[in-house]
Amino acid sequence: DAVGDSSHEQKQDKERKKKRRKKKDVRKVRVVASNLLSAWPDAEISRQPANNRLKTTKYTALSFLPKNLFEQFHRFANVYFVFIALLNFVPAVNAFQPELALAPVLFILAVTAVKDLWEDYSRYRSDQEINHMECLVYCRNERKYTTRYWKEVKVGDFIQLRCNEIIPADILLLSSSDPDGLCHIETANLDGETNLKQRQVVRGFLELDSEFDPMKFTSTIECEEPNNDIRRFRGFIVHKNGRKVPLCKENLLLRGCTVRNTEEVSGIVIYAGHETKALLNNSGPRYKRSKLERQMNCDVLWCVLILFAMCLF
């Protein structure tokens, strides 16, 4: 009986886990619709909050001073010398003029801060150059593709790309000038591979008798939430009649790749900005400590402990 009860409990646990997984999968579904639609059929379908603006800077005008000092005080030597300099302001223990003790430490902190500020400004200029690159986005009012900056691209926009053009966002391929519906891309900026890769127009759009018209696109796209797996993409295109067409990674053009050997392609933006797979794989700027700096921190800590022991004994 005990064995039967335990097996029954195990089955129940498995069923609970399956239900939890199903709930998680439901939550992880993103629904994308065309931005050209004047009315949304479902309240859950909405313009995604993420825009295509790139921001890799570490500081703002308000956060620079406290954040930079916090990073610099990760070096125990800075903490030690600032502490010694501040002790000179106590009359009972001061050894020389407090200003003279504080000046060298402040000089080191200031020089490091200026260096960090210059590096962050260089990142800001690089971001601005990328954000102000141009691409062709379909405009509902003008009924044609118009020039816009990368930073203005949104999820649900239709993008037209030409040969040797860099892809501004993660785009679902819906049309290609290639008669077989193929698009060749170079992914060297993404994974370092120089050989060209093939991407395929979504099934059902290749068979269109006329040229692809974004204004006639009334389907919705159900796909997975943004993630950093560049070798996987799953989803469906749901047509108005309820028919579902599966999607895979061969249908997706990733940001940062370059269109090659294909005269013209177009598609709809699925992920933009920091939700694209390329930027999700880039952790952004962070404070890095070298092996030498970690060793110096350890040595300074030991020196402080030895000095403290000498003072006691």
Q: 3-class SS at 57?
A: coil
Of 289, 303, 302, the residue nearest 71 (C-alpha):
289
Nearest to 279 by CA among 254, 259, 249, 250: 254
How confident is the model at residue 287, as a pLDDT? 64
Which pLDDT does position 3 carry in this prediction?
44
pLDDT tens digits along 82-141: 888 888 888 777 777 777 878 888 999 999 999 999 999 999 999 999 999 999 999 988
Contacts 24+ apart (CB under 8 A), 2-7: none
Residue with tokens 């501004």: 168
Q: Are 94 and 86 a contacting pair, CB within 8 Å?
A: no
For residues 24, 191, 185 and 249, what is the CA-based torsion angle, rounded to 10 degrees?
-20
38 has a pLDDT exceeding 90: no
pLDDT of residue 9: 62
Residues 219-265: tens digit of each pLDDT: 999 999 999 998 899 999 998 888 899 999 999 999 999 999 999 99
Give 149's strand partners: 134
250 by DSSP, 3-state: which?
helix
pLDDT band for 25, please (50, 70, 90 cuts).
very low
Q: Does the structure show a pLDDT above 70 at 285?
A: no
Q: Do 254 and 272 contact (CB within 8 A), yes or no?
A: no
Strand partners, 237: 221, 245
Helix (H) or strand (E) segment spanning residue 223 = strand 220-224
Tell me what pLDDT residue 290 has. Answer: 73
Identify the H or E element spanning 174: strand 170-176
> What number of other Cβ atoms are within 10 A of residue 231's Cβ?
7
| Residue 235: closest CA among 244, 219, 265, 243 | 244
Q: 157 falls in which pLDDT band (50, 70, 90)?
A: very high
Whether the predicted pLDDT of 309 surpasses 90? no
- Residue-level pLDDT at 294: 80
Q: Is the pLDDT of residue 43 over 50?
A: no
Task: Outline where the chain has alpha helix (H).
Answer: 2-27, 64-72, 76-87, 98-131, 188-191, 277-280, 291-312
pTM: 0.77
Cβ-contact 236, 222 below 8 angstroms: yes
The arithmetic mean of pLDDT across residues 144-150, rounded, is 94
Give the model's pLDDT for residue 111. 95
For the chain, percent of residues with pLDDT exceeding 90: 44
pLDDT tens digits for range 158-209: 999 999 999 999 999 999 998 888 999 999 888 888 889 999 999 887 666 5
Residue 42 has pLDDT above 60, yes or no: no
Q: Phi, psi (5° rounding) for residue 34?
A: -65, 135
Mean pLDDT of the chain: 84
Write the burial class of residue 169 (CB in 10 Å: 0-12 exposed, 13-18 middle, 19+ buried).
Answer: buried
